[in-house]
C-alpha cells in the first residue's frame, strides 16, 4: 500500500496523530485562502455544540457523525486506554435504551454504524436512508447526554477491550514495535501512550475511571455533529436544536501544555519478537501543520514522502526492492503532517533475504540524502500533485468521506475547506523546497530507529478466536 495514503486520508477526513493543546483558530497561512463553499454550512448551538451540514443529493442516503475532541492524548498516566474503553461503553445504554439496543435500532432502520478512537478524537457514525435521519439523531443525542450502565456491563466489556489489545497489538510484532517506538520517541508529549492502553492499566481500570472521563470530556462545546447526504440544511438544523440543543452546557476542561523537549541524540530500539522477517522503522521528528505559522516545510515534507513512496515505481521501490543488488522486500515513507500533537516522518522497510536491517536503514537514509543533494524532477512533482487533485474528485463520490473530512478538520481547528486549501499549497511546492527539507529534518538528533529482531515462531500456537459479541470498532473505510 503506497504511503501517499496517509495524506490522502487526512484530505478525506482522517487524522491520526500539532500542538498538545487544542487550537480553535486555523493556521494563519490558510486564512488567506478563499472562503468556505456555500454548500457547507456550520452553526453553533446555544449550548456550544457545533453543527456542520453538507447536502449531497445524488443518492437517498445520509451520514451522521459525532466527533468528540478527546482521544488518548487527553488521558493521564495510569488510565491509558480509557478514551477507547469509553467508546465501547457508549454502546451500553441510557435510561431509555438498553445495552446493545442502539446498534439493533440502527440496523432496523436499514443503517450501519460504528465508532473509533484515535490519539486526537473519538468518532461515532451512522449511515442510514435519509428519511430515517431524525431517529438516529435522537438516539445519538440521548447516548451523548445520558450514557449510563451498571458495573457488570463494564466488567464484561473491559475483557473485550483487553482481548482486542491481544489480537491487534500483542499478537502483531510490528504493532508492538510501533508501540515501543512511540514510547521512546515521545517523552512528554502524550502520544507516548497507545490508544488501546497498556495492559496493566486495563487490568486496573474501574467503572468510575470511565464514567469520570465521560463526564469530564463529553460536553457540548467539545463536540461536533456532522451531517452529509440527501438532507435539507434548515431541517437538519431544526433536528439538531431539538435533540442536541437541550443538552446542558458545561465548560470544556482546560488542557495543560505537554510540550516535547528537544531531542539531543539518536535513539535506538532493538525489539525481539516471534516473526518471520526483520523490519526497521526510522522516525524523524518534523513540524506539524498547526505549528508552521506560514512555513511551507510541512507541505514540502509531504511531497517528499510521495516522491519517495507515493506511487508504484517510486524512488524507494526502484532503489531498494528491484534489481540484483536489492536490499529490501518492501520500503515505505510517510509524513504525519497534521494533528493535535507532534508529528513524525517515517521511513520503513523489510530486509531482503541475506540482507540486514542496518543495510535497509542505510539505504533508506541514502535516498533522502540523494534528494537533499540532487533534488527532484518536475515530472515527479507533477505526478504526485496530479494524484492529490484526483483524490479530491474521487472522495466526493462518498458522503461518508465528505463527513469524515469535515469532522476531522473541525477537530484540528482547521477551516472546513482545509483540504482544498492544503491542495492549493501542495500544488505550489517547488523542487527547491523539497530539496531543502530533505537536508533539514533528517539528522541523527531528530531520529529514533526501531528494529524488529525476529525470534523463532511457536508452531504450536493457535490463532485467537474473537470473543462472542466482539465489535469490530474502527473508522469507516
* Active-site residue list: 87
Q: For 246, what's the count of Cα atoms within 13 Å in the CB-facing half-sphere? A: 8
The CB-side HSE value for 204 (13 A sphere, CA atoms) comes to 9
119: closest CA among 179, 194, 184, 180? 194
85 contacts 161 by C-beta, under 8 angstroms: yes
Pairwise CA distance, residues 54 & 371, whole Å: 41
Contacts of 72 by beta carbon, 8 Å cutoff, 6+ apart:
80, 81, 83, 84, 117, 118, 119, 190, 193, 194, 195, 197
Contacts of 193 (CB under 8 A, 6+ apart): 72, 73, 75, 77, 80, 183
Its sign, for the CA torsion 415, 420, 421, 423, is positive
Q: Which triple of cell numbers denotes residue 338?
A: 497534521
293: left (phi over 0), alpha (psi -120 to 50) or beta: left
Q: Rounded to 5 degrees, what angle do the CA atoms 23, 24, 30 make?
A: 90
Q: Return the C-alpha cell found at 248.
A: 446542558
- CA distance linking residue 195 with residue 11, whole number of Å: 22
Beta strands in 201-314 (DSSP E): 223-229, 267-274, 279-286
With contact defined as beta carbons under 8 Å apart, do 82 and 197 qualify? yes
Are the beta carbons of 196 and 84 closer than 8 angstroms? yes
Question: Other C-beta atoms within 10 Å of 254: how many?
Answer: 6
Amino acid at each position: 500500500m503506497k504511503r501517499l495514503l496517509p495524506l490522502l486520508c487526512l484530505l478525506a477526513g482522517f487524522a491520526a496523530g500539532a500542538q498538545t493543546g487544542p487550537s480553535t483558530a486555523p493556521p494563519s497561512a490558510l486564512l488567506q485562502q478563499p472562503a468556505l463553499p456555500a454548500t457547507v454550512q456550520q452553526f453553533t448551538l446555544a449550548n456550544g455544540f457545533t453543527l456542520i451540514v453538507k447536502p449531497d443529493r445524488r443518492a437517498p442516503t445520509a451520514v451522521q457523525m459525532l466527533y468528540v475532541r478527546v482521544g488518548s492524548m487527553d488521558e493521564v498516566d495510569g488510565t491509558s486506554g480509557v478514551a477507547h474503553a469509553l467508546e465501547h461503553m457508549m454502546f451500553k445504554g441510557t435510561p431509555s435504551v438498553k445495552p446493545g439496543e442502539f446498534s439493533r435500532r440502527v440496523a432496523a432502520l436499514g443503517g450501519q454504524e460504528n465508532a473509533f478512537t484515535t490519539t486526537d478524537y473519538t468518532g461515532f457514525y451512522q449511515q442510514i436512508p435519509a428519511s430515517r435521519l431524525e431517529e438516529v439523531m435522537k438516539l445519538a443525542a440521548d447516548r451523548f447526554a445520558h450514557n449510563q450502565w451498571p458495573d457488570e456491563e463494564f466488567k464484561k466489556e473491559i475483557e473485550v477491550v483487553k482481548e482486542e489489545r491481544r489480537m491487534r497489538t500483542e499478537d502483531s510484532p510490528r504493532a508492538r514495535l510501533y508501540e515501543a517506538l512511540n514510547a521512546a520517541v515521545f517523552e512528554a508529549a502524550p502520544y507516548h501512550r497507545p490508544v488501546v492502553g497498556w495492559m496493566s492499566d486495563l487490568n486496573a481500570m474501574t467503572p468510575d475511571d470511565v464514567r469520570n472521563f465521560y463526564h469530564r470530556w463529553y460536553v457540548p462545546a467539545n463536540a461536533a455533529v456532522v451531517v452529509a447526504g440527501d438532507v435539507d440544511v434548515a431541517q437538519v438544523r431544526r433536528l439538531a436544536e431539538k435533540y442536541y440543543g437541550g443538552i446542558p452546557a458545561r465548560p470544556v476542561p482546560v488542557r495543560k501544555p505537554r510540550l516535547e523537549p528537544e531531542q539531543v541524540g539518536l535513539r535506538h530500539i532493538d525489539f525481539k519478537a516471534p516473526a518471520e522477517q526483520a523490519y526497521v522503522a526510522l522516525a524523524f521528528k518534523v513540524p506539524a501543520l498547526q505549528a508552521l505559522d506560514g512555513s511551507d516545510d510541512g507541505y514540502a515534507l509531504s511531497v517528499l514522502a510521495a516522491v519517495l513512496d507515493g506511487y508504484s515505481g517510486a524512488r524507494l521501490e526502484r532503489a531498494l526492492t528491484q534489481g540484483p543488488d536489492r536490499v529490501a522486500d518492501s520500503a515505505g515513507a510517510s509524513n504525519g503532517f497534521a494533528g493535535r500533537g507532534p508529528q513524525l516522518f517515517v521511513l520503513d522497510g523489510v530486509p531482503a533475504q541475506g540482507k540486514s536491517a542496518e543495510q535497509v536503514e542505510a539505504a533508506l537514509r541514502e535516498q533522502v540524502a540523494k534528494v537533499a543533494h540532487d533534488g527532484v524532477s518536475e515530472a515527479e512533482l507533477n505526478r504526485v500533485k496530479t494524484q492529490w487533485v484526483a483524490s479530491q474528485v474521487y472522495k466526493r463520490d462518498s458522503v461518508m468521506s465528505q463527513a469524515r473530512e469535515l469532522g476531522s478538520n473541525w477537530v484540528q481547528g482547521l477551516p472546513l475547506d482545509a483540504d482544498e486549501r492544503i491542495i492549493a499549497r501542495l500544488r505550489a511546492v517547488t523542487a527547491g523546497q523539497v530539496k531543502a527539507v530533505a537536508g533539514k529534518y533528517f539528522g541523527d538528533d531528530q531520529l529514533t530507529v526501531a528494529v524488529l529482531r525476529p525470534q523463532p515462531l511457536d508452531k504450536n500456537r493457535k490463532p485467537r478466536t474473537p470473543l462472542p459479541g466482539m465489535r469490530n470498532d474502527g473508522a469507516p473505510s
